[in-house]
Copies of this chain bind each other. A is one copy, B any other.
Amino acid sequence: MKNHQVTIIDIARELGISKSTVSRALTNSTNILPETREAVLKKAKELDYQPNMLALGLIRNESRTLGVVIPDIQKPFFAAIVSGIQHTVSRIGYRIVIAQSDESPLEEKENIKALMLSRVDGFIVCHTRDTKDFEHIKLLHGKGYPLVSFARICPELPIPKVVEDDFNGLYTTTQHLIEQGKKRIALLAGPRQLLASKLRVNGYKVALQQHGIPFDKELVVHTKFLHDQVAAALERWLSLKHPPDGICTIYDAGAVKLIELLKRKGIKIPHEMAVAGFGDDPAASIIEPGLTSYAQRPYEIGVIAGKYMLDLLSKKYPVHHSDMTICKGALVVRGSSR
């Protein structure tokens, strides 16, 4: 089976005309006798003709395929973004191929190389948490590939970017805890070099400052998003002379873990210790008490990234167009802080 797919040559032969005429009938609307065109269309339908996109791609030097490189499709955040991208670009006839870096910078590089070989028309990328070297991306950009990055970006690269409102997210949550009467607020942060983490820490700092609360660096713990580090951070905080009465986190999974630990210790939430997260993961509304969390809209991030890409592809933007959308979120207040 899978024998000889029908080609325009088959149609031409059956109709006793040349393949150019068939091609014109199927594409170009000019320079073709209406009756001929009808005949071709009819025959095409009859034989169930389907154009070979590979051949077309070879001519146009495009594949109408976009490479999407993400750390892990199993994270709800990325799944939602992928969904948004896919829905956006598929309406214009683009497909997306997914590659996962599994948070490995090497894998990220390999994936991009492989996608380049298969001649994708553009890249939508979210870097690994540990990606420090952006040479592979700069290379792509130098070659003129349409490029969009989101969430974890390389700020100096002149390409469209879509990010969450990192600063404002933690500014808002921190302020919320202060308004709830909390005086000493700890922060569970991410890796020091991660831009998104830095921005969120800044939001936290500025909120404290604006409310006249001194910044205490003992209250900030940097993690690599590991469960064990969350437990260790909590122990450290609780052993302080002046332990915190509220904890902000820059990611929900950490906040969820904290709530579990606090409950096990019999510490009352939110009265003895308030907790707030970032991301509004599905878990936030399931755990008890509900987790107050800054809700991002990852699906929208995907939609915007997809639109940026379409604009680049249609040359509406030049490839070095350096635009950035900061995707606003909103604080969802639940029992963990109220």
Which residues of A pack against B, CB within 8 Å?
1-3, 5, 50-55, 57-58, 61, 63-65, 72-74, 76, 79-80, 82-83, 86-87, 90, 93, 95-100, 114-119, 142-145, 256, 282-283, 286-288, 299, 319
Of B54, B86, B143, the contact of A54 (CB 8 Å cutoff):
B54
Q: What residues of chain B lie closer than 8 Å to A95, measured between beta carbons? A: 97, 99, 114-115, 118
Contact between chains at B54 and A63 (CB < 8 Å)? yes
Contact between chains at B74 and A79 (CB < 8 Å)? yes
In the complex, what's the smallest C-beta–C-beta distance from A53 to chain B, in angstroms? 5
Complex Cα gap A1–B321 (Å) = 14
A52, A118, A119 — most chain B CB neighbours (10 Å) = A118
Residue of B nearest to A3 (CB): B144
Q: Which label, helix, strand, loop or mixed, suits the secondary structure of the A interface? A: mixed
**3 closest A-B pairs by CB:** A1-B144, A2-B144, A95-B97
Residue of B nearest to A80 (CB): B74
Contact between chains at A118 and B61 (CB < 8 Å)? no
Complex Cα gap A87–B114 (Å) = 14
Contact between chains at B117 and A51 (CB < 8 Å)? yes
In the complex, what's the smallest C-beta–C-beta distance from A169 to chain B, in angstroms? 21
Complex Cα gap A79–B51 (Å) = 31
A/B interface sample: 17 pairs, CB < 8 A: A1-B142, A5-B61, A53-B119, A54-B54, A54-B57, A54-B58, A65-B118, A74-B80, A74-B83, A83-B100, A87-B100, A95-B115, A96-B97, A97-B97, A98-B98, A283-B283, A288-B288
Contact between chains at B143 and A1 (CB < 8 Å)? yes
In the complex, what's the smallest C-beta–C-beta distance from A230 to chain B, in angstroms? 15
Q: What residues of chain B lie closer than 8 Å to A286, measured between beta carbons? A: 256, 283, 286-287
Q: What residues of chain B lie closer than 8 Å to A287, measured between beta carbons? A: 286-288
Residue of B nearest to A58 (CB): B54
Contact between chains at B119 and A52 (CB < 8 Å)? yes
Q: What residues of chain B lie closer than 8 Å to A97, measured between beta carbons? A: 65, 95-98
Residue of B nearest to A1 (CB): B144
Complex Cα gap A93–B117 (Å) = 11
Of B2, B58, B87, B118, the contact of A64 (CB 8 Å cutoff):
B118
In the complex, what's the smallest C-beta–C-beta distance from A167 to chain B, in angstroms? 27
Q: What residues of chain B lie closer than 8 Å to A96, measured between beta carbons? A: 97-98
Q: What residues of chain B lie closer than 8 Å to A256, measured between beta carbons? A: 286
